[in-house]
Structure 1
Amino acid sequence: MGIDGLDGRIIALLAREPRLGVLEMSRRLGVARGTVQARLDRLQERGVIRGFGPDVDPAALGYPVTAFATLQIRQGSGAAVRAHLASVPEVLELHTTTGSGDMLCRLVARSNADLQRVIDLVVGFDGIVRASTTIVMENPVPLRLIPLVEQAARLPRQATAPRSPV
């Protein structure tokens, strides 16, 4: 399921100005208010737009150190490890992965010394067998989605699966 040019323009406008109302968006985009509302509703229903919350900077909250930890977990302990990691506030993201590790998590800490506390909290769980941590030095390309939205809006829509002849 792709997006078209109008969907892309709506998402980009909301990313730049998240507090913008539907009426003002419709004025700026040159389309009817009902069209913008219907598009927003559809984008939310499809999970393209997941929320309208503030974009929070962990460093500004007092957590300037970012690290990634690759975790190897014991077979059958995935659900318990997920629940444990979800309970640690400094774990910002968790992904299950292929390769040398089973999970990759993004961590934040108040300092390098505090990072040791966070790592100890993360790996001090029975289901985690081994961890390898990498500290982030800088983030020259922070998480960005608008270039992807713009590309997706330019691509022609394609069917999700080829139809079989009847």
Structure 2
Amino acid sequence: MAVDQLDTRILRLLLEQPRTSVREYARILGVARGTLQARLDRLERDGVITGTAPTLSPAALGHPVLAFVHIEVTQGHLADVGDDLAGVPEIIEAYSITGGGDLLARVAARDAGHLEDIVQQLNRLPGVVRTRTEVALRERVPHRVLPLVEAIGRAAAERR
């Protein structure tokens, strides 16, 4: 999907001021409310905007230990193991990957002992061959998309 400069400005506002009304966004951007709403609808329909839920902190919810678990899976069982991962509440997200392992799961735990329990639970899943766990020490770059949005906006402006 092509994102133009107005889309970039809209996305920036959504990221920087997520609780602002559509009317206020339109005023800030200097566009008609209908124009803004049409853009928002298109960005949602095209999958650029995927939700409006708040961002929650696992640490503030009592799960300050963040780990990345590489999971090696028996050939032919990737989908089944992936489905099983969805049943583990401490798994925040999981991806199929290339390289050292077949799946990579981001896990939030209360403490080291809880993390060990989660990893042992993963090791017991049918189709899991082995796991390798890496504990995050400190967040260096928080989850973000605004720099990417801005780079796409600049590229769109240069193409014009």
User: What TM-score bracket applies, with the shorter chain setting the length?
Assistant: over 0.9
Counterpart CA distance in 2 for 1:126 and 1:64 is 28
**Structure 1 residue 110 corresponds to structure 2 residue 148:** no
How big is the shift at 1:4? 1.0
> Residue in 2 aligned with 1:16?
16
How big is the shift at 1:9? 1.0
RMSD (CA atoms)? 1.1
How big is the shift at 1:156? 2.8
Check the 8 A contact 2:5/2:156 in 1, yes or no: no
Q: 1:69 aligns to what SS in structure 2?
A: strand
Check the 8 A contact 1:2/1:153 in 2, yes or no: no
Counterpart CA distance in 2 for 1:154 and 1:2 is 12
Counterpart CA distance in 2 for 1:153 and 1:82 is 35
Q: 1:59 aligns to what SS in structure 2?
A: coil
How big is the shift at 1:140? 1.2
1:14 alignment partner AA: L
**Structure 1 residue 153 corresponds to structure 2 residue 153:** yes
Correspondence 1:79-98 to 2 at 5 A: 79-98=79-98
Counterpart CA distance in 1 for 2:126 and 2:26 is 54
Counterpart CA distance in 2 for 1:121 and 1:155 is 46
> Residue in 2 aligned with 1:129?
129
How big is the shift at 1:152? 0.8
Check the 8 A contact 2:78/2:102 in 1, yes or no: no
Unaligned 5+ segments in structure 1 are 158-166
How big is the shift at 1:111? 0.5
How big is the shift at 1:18? 1.3
Q: Deviations over 1:115-136 (max 9, x none)?
A: 1111111221121001110000
Counterpart CA distance in 2 for 1:71 and 1:2 is 36
1:113 alignment partner AA: G
Q: TM-score, normalised by structure 1?
A: 0.91
How big is the shift at 1:5? 1.2
> Residue in 2 aligned with 1:25?
25
Check the 8 A contact 1:73/1:130 in 2, yes or no: yes
How big is the shift at 1:100? 2.0
Check the 8 A contact 1:96/1:103 in 2, yes or no: yes
1:19 alignment partner AA: R
Check the 8 A contact 2:64/2:110 in 1, yes or no: yes
1:51 alignment partner AA: G
The share of aligned pairs that are identical, in percent, is: 46
Check the 8 A contact 1:97/1:103 in 2, yes or no: yes
Q: TM-score, normalised by structure 2?
A: 0.95
**Structure 1 residue 141 corresponds to structure 2 residue 141:** yes
Q: 2:156 aligns to what SS in structure 1?
A: coil
> Residue in 1 aligned with 2:120?
120
Counterpart CA distance in 2 for 1:121 and 1:108 is 14
> Residue in 2 aligned with 1:160?
none
Q: Deviations over 1:82-122 (max 9, x none)?
A: 11100001011111011121111100100111111111112
